[in-house]
Structures are given as C-alpha cells and as structure tokens.
Amino acid sequence: MPCRSAFVYSPEYLRYKLSEEHPLNPIRLALTDSLIEACGLLAGPDAFREAPRVATEGELLLAHDAPYVERVRELSAHPRRGSSEPEYGLGSSDNPIFAGMHEATSLVVGGTLRAAELVLNGGAMHAFNPSGGLHHANRRLASGFCIYNDAAVGVAWLRQHGLRVLYVDTDAHHGDGVQWIFYEDPKVLTISLHETGRYLFPGTGSPSEQGRGDGFGYAINVPFQPYTDHASWVECYDLVVPELARAFRPDVIVAQNGCDGHALDPLTHLHALTLTYEHMARRAHELAHELCDGRLIAVGGGGYALWNVVPRAWTSVWAAISDQPLPERVPQPWLDRWRSSAPEPLPTLMHDASSEFEPIPHREATAAENRRVAQDVRRRGLPGSA
C-alpha cells in the first residue's frame, strides 16, 4: 500500500491555552501548521491533513482515574479565580485551572487517538499529532503543563487492541507520566532520553528506574548532562533505541517529539539543533518499517522557543515521518505572514548550524558521560535478551 501519512490538526487545538502568560503557548501549533503548508508538505497524494476528534470519558479512563476526570470536568465548567486543587495538581502556575480545560485537553487526547485509529485501521501508515505529547500527567495528577496524558491514553488504547508498544520520548523533560502508568506492563517498552533530573523538572528519569513486577526491565532512561549537543544526542539515541527496539519487536511505535532540548529553548539546558529532531524522527520512521510494518504514531511535546524553533523542528519531524524532502530555506510566504506578529527576527533557514551556538562548555566531558550512560543501558538490554 502507499506510505500514507496523516497530519492531525485543527485550529481548535489553540483552545488549550493555560493562561495568557504561560510558556506553553498554542501559537506554536498555528506556526507549525502554516510552515508545513508553506513548505508544500501537504500537497502530495500520500500526505494529508486529518481533523482530530474529542476523546470519550471511557477513553480518558484508560489512563486516568474517574475521580480525577470528574474533578477536571467540574472545574472546567466552573473555574474559580485563584482556586487550587493540590490533591490533583491543579491550580498551580504550571497547571492553572481555566474554563473549558476538560474539552480542550480531551480534543488533544482525541487527536492522538485519531492518529492511532488511522494507523491501526490502515487509513495511514504514519500519523503526527503535534498538539499531543502531554506526557507528565499521571492517573490522578496534572503535572508539567499537562492536564490529561494523551500519549498514555494512546498507548493504553493500542494495548487494548493487543499490540506491543514501543514508546520513545525525546523531550528534554523525562517522560515520567507515561513511564509510571505502564511501569508494570512488559508489553510496553518506554525509552526516555532527557536532561538529567538533577537539574530539570520533574527530577526523575534515572537509569535505576527500570519498571516493577512483570514490567521490570521495560523502562529505559538515558539522562543527559547539561549542554548536550547534537552529536552526543544522536550518538546516544543510535546506541540505545535501535538495538532495544529490535530486541522488543513492537507492533507499533509511538514517538514523542518534544523539541525543548534545542539550544534556544528558554526552559532547559541542552544544545540540540533542528537537525537533531529530524534525525530522531527519521530513525523512528526507519525502525517502524523494519519492525512493525511501518506503524508509527508521532506526537509533539515541549518546546518554548515558540517562533524560532518549534515550527522548524516539527516541520522537520513531519517531513521525516512522511518521507518528504525538507526545503533548505524557510518559505518567503511564511515569513511574510508572521513577521509583523513575531517578537523577534524569524529564521530564514530550516536547519540551524552548530556554529551559531558556539562555544559549548565541557563538550567532550559531557559527551563521554552521556556515552557511558547509554552504553550501560544498552549493555543491560531487555529481560531475556542476553
């Protein structure tokens, strides 16, 4: 069959706006959608835009407890200024309560489920929901800008259909919510490559977190040192992910593509490039074709350099998973459309050069420590794979 790829998007995604001042500004999604369009990456017969749907309550309960979902719904309908629900992680500066939050985040979850449906029923081989990747929320806890965990709901939905799921998370922040929800499930392999929790929220993601019970050995963590650059990031990904994926033999791959590890991101301390995200998406695409008949579901994630990084990074991800060439230059119509709104000069090249961000402190020592961790994780392997 043709290698059809679905870009799951709607302007309704922009309703997931935690507050006017919040760093998770949905303008990044509109910028990404329009850049993908300007690059001609939705013009071919096998790359198409698909509308999301709203997740049902039953689907939300695949990864969240009923009292939590009910409280989110109640507060969504009747938000109270300054109210706080610490039991559920709601009402903090990270996760403020806002009108319509249940509906807005249910649409994000439904976008990831629509991507999974298309991949499972043959409507597409690959699908990308850029609004997804809200990987911190746990069963009864909002966390890290995430009200519901669309990635976990998507993985649970795939498990409900009997599939073995490889979940690869390359956000700068540890994919803790997904890890904990599937910590005892040997049919879900979670691999997270992220900045070490010694310096960054949520403070988890040590290699010692390996799963529990039947799931022991199926949680994999590769924490990076601050200032990890493109070369080290790519080296560690290529050391760990392909070998463990081949040992696990998934039926489907779910890839979280947070791009907040970029050198320009204001909330982290890493030095990835837009090329880093393209590389990892291409690797996920290759592994999907090698191991699971091409079945690949991609989601977004963090990314707070809203204008200069996120649109280019996720356009690169879309080009990679839909197997299309990326133009060298940012299209002039996109620059013309957004220049008057942008608070800073817009980039003119799709890829940034590493020389833009020199010098990088402790580069060799950082790469050596990252390599040691990655080699240790790879050497440990999966249960029964020695």
108 Rama sector, left if φ>0, alpha if ψ -120 to 50, beta otherwise: alpha
| In a domain? residue 96 | yes
Read off the DSSP letter of residue 196: -
Q: Which residue has the tokens 């507060």?
A: 75
| In a domain? residue 20 | yes
Q: What is the span of the domain harbouring residue 33?
A: 5-380
Query: pLDDT for 151-190, tens place per residue?
Result: 999 999 999 999 999 999 999 999 999 999 999 999 999 9
Residue 370: count other Cβ atoms within 10 Å of its Cβ.
23
Q: Categorize the per-residue pLDDT at 1 as very low, low, confident or very high, splitting at 50, 70 and 90.
A: very low
For residue 27, the domain's CATH number is 3.40.800.20
| In a domain? residue 386 | no
| In a domain? residue 338 | yes
**Annotated catalytic residue: which of 136, 174, 194, 279?**
136
151 Rama sector, left if φ>0, alpha if ψ -120 to 50, beta otherwise: alpha
Per DSSP (E only), the strands in the chain are: 5-8, 47-50, 126-129, 165-169, 188-195, 219-224, 252-256, 296-299
| In a domain? residue 328 | yes
| In a domain? residue 25 | yes
| In a domain? residue 191 | yes
Cα 374 to Cα 386: distance, rounded to the nearest angstrom: 17
- The whole-number average pLDDT for the span 61-89 is 93
Residues 297, 124 contacting (CB under 8 angstroms): no
User: Looking at the 3D structure of the chain, how many domains does it have?
Assistant: 1
Is 194 among the residues known to form the active site? no
- Per-residue pLDDT, 47: 97
pTM of the model: 0.97
- End-to-end Cα distance, the chain: 36
Q: Which residue has the tokens 């489920």?
A: 113
Query: pLDDT for 251-291, tens place per residue?
Result: 999 999 999 999 999 999 999 999 999 999 999 999 999 99
Cα 256 to Cα 172: distance, rounded to the nearest angstrom: 11
Q: Categorize the per-residue pLDDT at 27 as very low, low, confident or very high, splitting at 50, 70 and 90.
A: very high
| In a domain? residue 385 | no
* pLDDT higher than 60, residue 126: yes
Q: What is the distance of C-alpha 148 from the center of its chain? A: 14
Question: Letter for the amino acid at 77?
Answer: A
